[in-house]
Amino acid sequence: MYNFFAKNRPSIVISLILCVGICLPAYCSSQNKSAPAEKTDASGEVHVDAPHQIEFLEKENMCIARGNENSPARARKGNVTVSASELRVYFDQSPDGKRALRTIEANGRAALFGPFGNVTSEKLVYTAKKEELVACGGAISLKTPEYSVTANNFIKYSNSELKGTADGNAILRHGDKTISSNVITVFFEKTANKTSNKTEPNGGQLAVKRAIANGNVSMSNGVQNAVGDSAIYESSNKNLSLKGKVRISEGGSSGIGHIGKINLENGKSSLCGNKKQRVKVIVTPKSLQKRPLQKK
């Protein structure tokens, strides 16, 4: 076991050079902040830095990095960085002695920054080979440049499937538009490179392609409100399709049906019924909507 204590050093850095299968401890000092990790190249290096302590347990093929809320420990491989008050970094070791990153467990104000967005929670587990993460506890969120997803229970994301699941009062936000439900499954697509106009296979930012909401669905776009049992949102045409006990309201008017559609861009909506449920619409004139309540 390597045990590195930063008693007289404000920060320490350890780099695991995976391409040759050895561990090289490197010490760096800084007066007021943690020393930055060195740049990572295509060799597959994993860089871990912490302001307090790093332990490398050689037999267990893992290291523990400790920081705090104000100055967290960090682990970085390629364009993915995980930070938290405590990190546990696990490796797989091949017969020839080379190590490859397996899992990062983050506890205490955990955060992950990568090409697929920024994830924050109290606890987070990132599996490197599958490029999957599970975030739970605290304020759980996944943010892309245009969208954000929050949940109370957990958020799961798979970069190989470009798919995320938010469970427990899940909310998908895009500007002033929100879709909330018990569970929301979000399917992403990678954005095109602005310079070459080509989709980057191993990088680039994510954009929401489709979202499926199940259970206690509600929608608000700043003007209209809608509820239903389930819904599907398509970002290509900005259409939201609702099913179940659907109600769409705007101002003092509302409509009830079995199937409803709303375009979140232009506000156009429609309702359909079925054999068991007819369409009902209540229209309130604007003059009545603006009329103040009379005190009795």
**Residue 101 included in any domain:** no
**Residue 61 included in any domain:** yes
**Residue 167 included in any domain:** yes
Are 124 and 267 found together in one domain? Answer: yes
pTM: 0.80
**Residue 267 included in any domain:** yes
User: From CA 168, how far away is CA 137, in angstroms rounded?
Assistant: 11
CATH code at position 226 = 2.60.450.10
Are 239 and 188 found together in one domain? Answer: yes
| pLDDT tens track for 109-141 | 999 999 888 999 999 999 999 999 999 999 999
pLDDT of residue 166 exceeding 50: yes
User: From CA 66, how far away is CA 72, in angstroms rounded?
Assistant: 7
Are 159 and 206 found together in one domain? Answer: yes
Q: Could you tell me how many residues make up the chain?
A: 296
Are 137 and 220 found together in one domain? Answer: yes
> Higher confidence at residue 281 or residue 160?
160
> Higher confidence at residue 226 or residue 117?
226
Are 121 and 37 found together in one domain? Answer: no
Burial readout 107-117 (b: 16 or more C-beta within 10 A, e: otherwise): ebbbbbbbbbb
Are 74 and 16 found together in one domain? Answer: yes
> Higher confidence at residue 228 or residue 202?
228
User: From CA 205, how far away is CA 182, in angstroms rounded?
Assistant: 26
User: From CA 134, how far away is CA 79, in angstroms rounded?
Assistant: 18
pLDDT at 273: 84
pLDDT confidence tier of residue 32, bands split at 50, 70 and 90: very low
pLDDT at 204: 57
The residue among 59, 92, 125 that closes a domain is 92
Count Cα neighbours of 263 within 13 Å in the Cβ-side half-sphere.
8
> Higher confidence at residue 107 or residue 274?
107
Mean pLDDT of 148-166: 96
At a CB cut-off of 8 Å and minimum separation 6, what does 138 contact? 109, 120, 121, 122, 123
**Residue 41: what residue type?**
D
Cα R_g (the chain), whole angstroms: 25
**Residue 292 included in any domain:** no
Are 80 and 18 found together in one domain? Answer: yes
Are 190 and 224 found together in one domain? Answer: yes
pLDDT confidence tier of residue 277, bands split at 50, 70 and 90: confident
Are 225 and 159 found together in one domain? Answer: yes
Q: How many structural domains compose the chain?
A: 2
The residue among 60, 92, 124 that closes a domain is 92
User: From CA 31, how far away is CA 161, in angstroms rounded?
Assistant: 43
Write down the residue that tokens 């799961």 correspond to: 156
What rounded mean pLDDT belongs to the chain?
Answer: 81
The residue among 92, 124, 146 that closes a domain is 92
User: Would you list the DSSP string of the chain?
Assistant: -EEEE-SS-S-EEEEEETTTTEEEEE----SSSPPPPPPP-TT--EEEEESSEEEEETTTTEEEEE--SSS-EEEEETTEEEEESEEEEEEEE-TTS-EEEEEEEEEEEEEEEETTEEEEEEEEEEETTTTEEEEESSSEEEE-SS-EEEESSEEEEETTTTEEEEEEEEEEEETTEEEEEEEEEEEEEEPBPTTT--B-TT-S-EEEEEEEEEEEEEEE-SSEEEEEEEEEEETTTTEEEEEEEEEEEETTEEEEEEEEEEETTT--EEEE--SS---EEE---HHHHHSPPPP-
| pLDDT tens track for 169-202 | 999 999 999 999 999 999 999 876 554 444 444 4
Whole-number percent of the chain with pLDDT over 90: 58
Are 88 and 147 found together in one domain? Answer: no
| pLDDT tens track for 45-85 | 899 999 988 999 988 999 999 999 889 999 999 999 999 99
Nearest CA to 157 among 191, 192, 184, 180? Answer: 184
Are 18 and 157 found together in one domain? Answer: no
Are 145 and 278 found together in one domain? Answer: yes
**Residue 66 included in any domain:** yes
Mean pLDDT of 6-26: 38
**Residue 7 included in any domain:** yes
**Residue 294 included in any domain:** no
Domain with 83 in it:
1-92
| pLDDT tens track for 237-254 | 999 999 999 999 988 888
At a CB cut-off of 8 Å and minimum separation 6, what does 176 contact? 221, 222
